[in-house]
Chains A and B, each alone.
Chain A
């Protein structure tokens, strides 16, 4: 189970900044995602229009969520599947365990699923004598390391190649100790061989779901490796874990969202495997599971409906927001202290575990707005982080120092003359100290800021108001 360390975000972040291995991995990884997404978007001129369509599909679905969930469930059952409605993580754990017990399961293979992290199913199964085996390459090494994913689509975002090699040598002790990993593909090949046996031996396969389709009663998974398909095809029983907001009305709706998903996530035009599962094996079929279950999880999401956080339920978990986030880019995902990191985590986590525990996360933002500008379903993430800051303030959860600071700022903000004088003085002093340099690497009294990042020096020419006044005069 993921231990909640969100209340210690500041300490987590400080540790992350001092972790050379993590900084190396983050530095290498983030540029790749940004560039590939930008290229994929450039290849599809309709991308911006599709974002509006994606937003509208999700809004329509959320406004009629009860109807579409009931329709989905009825169609799953028509196809010989079973839907397990679960209000809490505990309900979902119990439902999965019961299905596994009924199946007499000893090992369970798993496709990548963030809901599985959210409900902590691996620990629960292990506690009851069932061995869960993660099969997504990134999730596999995370399980070997007894860690949790640091990114929602690239679980091992925080690791370097050396880590992979060391962990494989440590864990795969049946292989020759002096084997050589010349290329990344040698690591991949070893994982493929190791997991092959697991796929074949598993009694139950557990996957997540990127979408549920009401029209057909299907669950959809999107992967590049093919592990999800092996997981849901070979064992006798398939369980799809999905939260309630994953449902969309029709195949056409899912198709429009799929045009956004891979481009926003990995910068591919389409992922390698997009698979629609509908019920159990049909008469005459030569393969496929004999049982099909959907575990449908609420776990706090219904509380977001009708609140200022309802729009967060549009999220399709592409990770574009964290890939583009300057805070995530230096702290990595583990600092956020629970399942969902980055801007989407900063909004979702307080909704699901409480702002008392996760109040730091919506504060861990520069409000640069990049997350909203790349979100494929146009979730106003900064606005919602602001809502959380307000709630935190109202509930007096904000630390005294911050409250005092806000008080001082408010005093000036309400007195424009004093405000302008103060900013003019500060900018003058900073310009003097900067001596023509673009940024400060360190600054007296601002060590808390400059320890983890540079402070930009003021541009020459004075405050905005001073320059604006000058421009007006020049007309």
Chain B
């Protein structure tokens, strides 16, 4: 017993010592005082080399903290006690944060790179004049197939998934809005529909898909698809990019009849303090060279038109991740629905899951 206690005490002492010295190290390296920028970002969502380059060019040290869901980020900023200067929420969360008065407007006079952005990704419904947000990356919802099991070209539309050929072959991303949205688009409806009858019809259509669904999972889809566990999956383009990088048999399709267009955005939360650093960073990230470097690192599609032109031709012309204009026009951005409607989507989705 005595030995156990002394063991635990020495373990605690070592941990404490390490924590203290790492704190000291950080304090000495970040002692530039106000020359810092606190960035609240998704995990592995920026090229670390860019942060070093930014510090060399401007002298601002970037502290990065990460979150793993929009909701977690919202809660943390809403609770206060944090000092984030920039955060990167998805489009519906921008609208939600705006309504909760958690965002500071952007001073457009201090932005130098606005003209680099593609108009397609500006002036969206969640922030009509980009008063609060700058697009960071964008992507779609689509179908991933494995050419070992599926003839290339046979999957083009959402309705192809309902074919009896694919019994017990499809993996779905566990997200109410996306899966309900997919069913809505397959019936020619808007992904932002709030009509209960239309939604009920979509749920019934999903129920008919149930025999084809192998599993409804989350991040694990990446692992499963890479390991050839299932021939088909419905997931976001960002996840798809990672799968494709790890398994050359995988391909990504955005159905031409429409899908979701998601946009992650840079915003200034109410907790911001270092305004010079913020605008320096926003302008730095808007520079085509830097945005292109970031896009190559992260693997997502950049909304920066000038940056896209700098990407290697293979990336630039990859119709999987930069769909043709005709498809792009049919993509819909999710509107921030009222809580009651979000509830309706989720209840119907839960019913669909019960039918497996």
Genuine A/B complex: no
